[in-house]
A and B are shown apart, each in its own frame.
Chain A
Amino acid sequence: MAEEILAPLAGKIVKMFMEAGKTVEEDDEALVIEAMKMETPVYVPCNGTVKEIKVKEGGEVEEDDVLAIIE
Chain B
Amino acid sequence: MRPYFENMPEFGKELKKGALKRTEENLAEIRKAEAEIAEAVEKVKNAGFPTEKINARGQMTVWQRLEYLVDPGTWCPLHTLYNPADNAEGTTSVIDGLGKIEGRWAVIIGFDNKVMAGAWLPGQSENILRVTDLAKRLNTPLIWLVNCSGAKLPEQEKFYANRRGAGTPFFRHAELAQMGIPVLAGIYGTNPAGGGYQSISPAVLFAHKNCNIAVGGAGIVSGMAPKGHFDTETAETIIEKARHFKSVPPGRVEIHYNETGFFRYVFEEEKGVLDGLKEYMGKLPAYDPEFFRVAAPQPPKFSTEEIARLLPLAQKTVYDFDEILSRLTDGSQHTEFRPDYGPEVYTGLIKADGFLLACIGNRQGYLGKDYPEYADYPGFGGKLYRQGLIKMNEFVTLCGRDRIPIVWLQDTTGIDVGDDAEKAELLGLGQSLIYSIQQTDIPMMLVVLRKGSAAAHYVLGGPTANRHNAFTLGTVATEIYVMHGETAAVATYSRRLVKEKDAGCPLEPVIEKMNALAQDYYNKSRPLFCARNGLVDEIVNLADLRKYITAFAGAAYQNPKSICPHHQMILPRIIRG
B369 touches A27 (CB 8 A): no
Contacts of B382 in A (CB 8 A): 38
In the bound assembly, the distance between CA atoms of A63 and B19 in angstroms comes to: 24
Question: Quick check: A28 and B378 within 8 Å, CB to CB?
Answer: no
Q: Does A40 contact B (CB under 8 A)?
A: yes
Which residues of A lie under 8 Å from residue B21 when comparing CB positions? 25, 28
Complex CA–CA separation, A43 to B365 (angstroms): 14
Closest to B314 in A: A39
Q: A9-B366, A9-B378 are in contact. Are A38 and B18 (CB under 8 A)?
A: no
Q: Contact between A35 and B22 (Cβ–Cβ < 8 Å)?
A: no
Point out the residues of chain A lying under 8 angstroms from B17, CB to CB: 25-27
Is A35 in contact with B16, judged by CB distance below 8 angstroms? no
Does A36 sit at the interface, judged by CB under 8 A? yes
Q: Decide if A6 is an interface residue (CB 8 Å cutoff).
A: no
B residues less than 8 Å from A43 (CB atoms) = 18-19
CB within 8 Å for A37 and B316 given contacts A8-B366, A9-B378: yes
Taking a contact as CB atoms under 8 Å apart, the answer to whether A40 and B318 are in contact is yes
A27 x B365 contact (CB < 8 A): no
A39, chain B: closest CB distance, angstroms: 5
A10:B378 contact, CB within 8 angstroms: yes
1/0 per residue, CB under 8 A from B, across A19-54: the answer is 000001111110000111111110110000000000
| B232 interface hit (Cβ, 8 Å) | no
Q: B317 near A: Cβ within 8 Å?
A: yes
Assess whether A38 is in contact with B318, with CB atoms less than 8 Å apart: yes
Q: Are A27 and B16 in contact, CB atoms less than 8 angstroms apart?
A: yes
- On whether the beta carbons of A44 and B366 are closer than 8 Å, the reply is no
Query: What range describes how many residues of B lie at the interface?
Result: 10 to 19
Task: Specify the chain A residue showing the minimal Cβ separation from B22.
Answer: A29
B302: interface (CB < 8 Å): no
How near does chain A come to B492, taking the closest CB pair, in angstroms? 19
Q: CB-CB < 8 A to B19: which residues of A?
A: 27, 43
CB–CB A28/B22 < 8 A:
yes
A41 near B317 with CB under 8 A, answer: yes
A8 to chain B: which residues have CB within 8 Å?
A: 365-366
B385 within 8 A of A: no
Docked complex Cα distance between A27 and B17 (Å) = 7
B residues less than 8 Å from A10 (CB atoms):
378
The reply on B380 being an interface residue by CB < 8 A is yes
Residues of B within 8 A of A34 (CB): 316
What is the distance, in angstroms, from B376's C-beta to the closest C-beta of chain A? 13
**Total residues of chain A contacting the partner, CB 8 A:** 20
Chain B residues within 8 Å of A38, by CB: 316-318, 364-365, 380, 382
The answer to whether B365 and A63 have CB atoms under 8 Å apart is: no
Q: Given the complex of chains A and B, what is the CA–CA distance between A35 and B21 in angstroms?
A: 25
A37 to B19, CA, bound (A): 24
Q: Which residues of the partner chain A approach B16 to less than 8 Å between Cβ atoms? A: 25-27
**B366 (CB) vs chain A CBs: closest residue:** A9
The distance from the CB of B12 to the nearest CB of chain A, in whole angstroms, is 14
Q: Closest approach, in angstroms, between the C-beta of B269 and any C-beta of chain A? A: 58
Given A9-B378, A38-B365, verify A27-B316 contact (CB < 8 Å): no
Q: Please name all residues of chain A whose beta carbon is closer than 8 Å to the beta carbon of B15 when the two chains form the complex.
A: 27
Question: Cβ of B316: which chain A residues have Cβ within 8 Å of it?
Answer: 34, 37-39
Q: Which residue of B lies closest to A14 (CB)?
A: B316
Contact pattern, B 349-368, Cβ under 8 Å of A = 1, otherwise 0: 00000000000000011100
- Which B-chain residue is minimally distant from A64 (CB atoms)? B369
How many angstroms from the CA of A9 to the CA of B315 in the assembled complex?
19
Interface set, chain B 14-72, CB cutoff 8 A to A? 15-19, 21-22
- Cβ-closest chain A residue relative to B379: A36
Q: Give the docked Cα–Cα distance between A33 and B15 (Å).
A: 22
| Cα of A35 to Cα of B318 in the assembled complex, Å | 11
B-side contacts of A29, CB under 8 Å: 18, 22
Considering only CB atoms, which chain B residue lies closest to A25 in the complex? B18
A34 to B316: give the CA distance in the assembly, Å.
9
Chain B residue numbers with a CB within 8 Å of A24 are 18
How many angstroms between the C-alpha atoms of A20 and B382 in the bound complex?
Answer: 34
Chain A nearest CB: distance from B340 CB in Å?
A: 19
Partner of B318, one of A25, A27, A28, A39: A39
Q: In whole Å, how far is B487's beta carbon from the nearest beta carbon of chain A?
A: 10
Cβ contacts under 8 Å, B318 to chain A: 38-41
What separation, in Å, do the CA atoms of A26 and B13 have in the docked complex?
A: 13
Question: Are A40 and B18 in contact, with the CB atoms below 8 A?
Answer: no
B16 nearest in chain A by CB position: A27
Interface pairs (21), CB distance under 8 Å:
A8-B365, A10-B378, A25-B21, A27-B16, A27-B19, A28-B18, A28-B21, A29-B22, A34-B316, A35-B366, A35-B378, A37-B316, A38-B365, A38-B380, A38-B382, A39-B316, A39-B317, A39-B318, A40-B318, A40-B366, A43-B18
Please provide the 8 A-B residue pairs with the shortest distance between their CB atoms, ordered closest to farther: A27-B18, A9-B366, A28-B18, A27-B19, A25-B18, A40-B318, A29-B22, A27-B16
Chain B residues close to A by CB (< 8 Å): 15-19, 21-22, 314, 316-318, 364-366, 369, 378, 380, 382
> Chain A interface (Cβ within 8 Å of chain B)?
8-10, 24-29, 34-41, 43-44, 63
Additional A-B contact list (5), CB under 8 Å, known A25-B18, A39-B317, A44-B18: A27-B16, A29-B18, A36-B378, A39-B314, A39-B318
